Structure 1
């Protein structure tokens, strides 16, 4: 097999937020009720469950790279995630376009901590996705601190879902998913307790956008990705900070496959972002954070 390598200079953009929602065996990471509700919430058209090779091909066609991950919330949902090892192996096979992140449920305790180190050292995983609302934990809960220690020590990245989620939206009781866990202010404690940990706050953090901006401006290691929303809906203060104080800490993310990079980039073109800042958001900030530059 031909070894693929990433040429950052040739990339149009780096998408720091994409989901592997189905394994090679056809196993989905969300049950049907939650997946259908999410599809309705985002008004998804086209393929909701691309395979990892299909994701690689999709981004290769667009001359983009993508951070890809699953979400491990089995203790809360009863549904097994796409295996982290499968994500990492697919990324290794498509290293010109895919960057592997993993996801570990903090409720797994010491087993998760041990697995995190193995995923970094043996599989080349570059970061870890946490979804506090679905995983049902506050980011500053000590049960996750062992994981953060490994992530910080290995130089990996901790990416936290923040704000409202489309998962469970419209299902009675929201599918039992509680939004309170994903207030970005809880991540401020993590950033204070792990000062060298690289952190991404995912999404415009509705209804806590100002909290996210405050944390990102106060804590040097905290960044914000713009995934999950069309740029035409971005709060004005987010656009203001992206253009100024946070111009080196804001990152392009789509949330593919629930939101495509095609739609996101088309709407981003119309956003009042300074020309000098656009390449930072689309590629340069991510390349530096991921150690690709």
Structure 2
């Protein structure tokens, strides 16, 4: 038995990336990876294996949600296997929580895959990146997949705002920023009222829209990944301290931003003492359905 002792964790990072498979296959093309490195000034950052991610977080007494991005329809680049991500996370279930990514263009086939991944592989949620996947979040093509995820009772995490992927590449590498507008996810929250949704990142240039959606829709959360907290817009900090104190989540965007850097800057942010543990761990524990102890069998 592999045990996650939630009580002993100091934080849960809800946003980390499996960028490379066991056989060295990258989750994105080298061109898009290079653009991301330029954007985050993260040249030379290693693409850790899932085993290395586990060791990193275990050393820090943290847990992490791990996922890849399936954008094969739009990019032509084969994804990293969701099964591989889930199985590797299961080997380190004391610190890792597997999410999957299913290209929404797959429609009903994607819905079948989502059910199988949750029921047979222990996946705990799904990651969408509409800008890379080349689809508006509220496109009806994706609705069979959302329906399945809602029925399964696991969260859907949507990239929102600008993305470093494709930045500086001619034409942005074909990536359309408009699909990162949180108001498009508001339609999803209306049409799937029981679906737990995470709006990933401070949603520049749509921060106010993200705050509006999260305050209006009871099952919409915000993660704080992809930015150093010292750059957070003041309204985001204000809402995190008040109206959204139970709906804001710690996320780093590891490996391009490390939790060490993120937490060091978060310590300097004017967050109320009673709110800080909610953001770092407690809100994620509730959203992800983690008890005081999570037990799973090794894969």
Give TM-score scaled by structure 1 length: 0.98
For 1:223, the equivalent position in structure 2 comes to 221
Q: 1 CA distance for matches of 2:137 and 2:34? A: 27
Whether the 8 Å contact between 2:45 and 2:256 is mirrored in structure 1 is no
**Separation of aligned partners in 2, 1:28 and 1:45:** 16
- CA apart distance, 1:259: 0.5
Match of 1:169 in 2: 167
C-alpha distance in structure 2 between counterparts of 1:63 and 1:167, whole Å: 30
Match of 1:88 in 2: 86
Of the three residues 74, 93, 115, the one matched with 2:113 is 115
> What is the aligned partner in structure 1 of residue 139 from structure 2?
141
Query: 2:203: which partner in 1?
Result: 205
Shift of 1:46: 5.2
Distance in 2 separating the partners of 1:251 and 1:46: 28
CA distance in 1, matches of 2:74, 2:143: 19
Higher relative contact order (CA 8 A, sep 6+): 2
- Once the two structures are TM-superposed, the CA of residue 14 in structure 1 deviates from its matched residue by 0.1
The answer for the alignment partner of 2:2 in structure 1 is 4
Larger mean CA deviation between 249-258 and 40-49 belongs to 40-49
Give yes or no for contact 2:33–2:165 (8 Å, CA) kept in 1: yes
Task: Say which of 18, 21, 34 aligns to 1:20.
Answer: 18
1:283 to 255, 260, 281: 281
| Distance apart, 1:108 and its partner CA | 1.5
Change (3 A) 1:269 1:45: farther
Which sections of structure 1, spanning at least 5 residues, go unmatched? none
The answer as to 2:102 corresponding to 1:130 is no
Structure 2 unaligned segments of length 5 or more: list them: 292-299
1:19-46 residue CA offsets vs partner (Å, 9 max, x unmatched): 0010001100111111011011101155
Q: Which stretches of structure 1, 4 residues or longer, exceed 2 Å deviation after superposition?
A: 45-48
TM-score by length of 2: 0.96
Matched, 1:29 2:45: no
Q: How many residues align?
A: 291
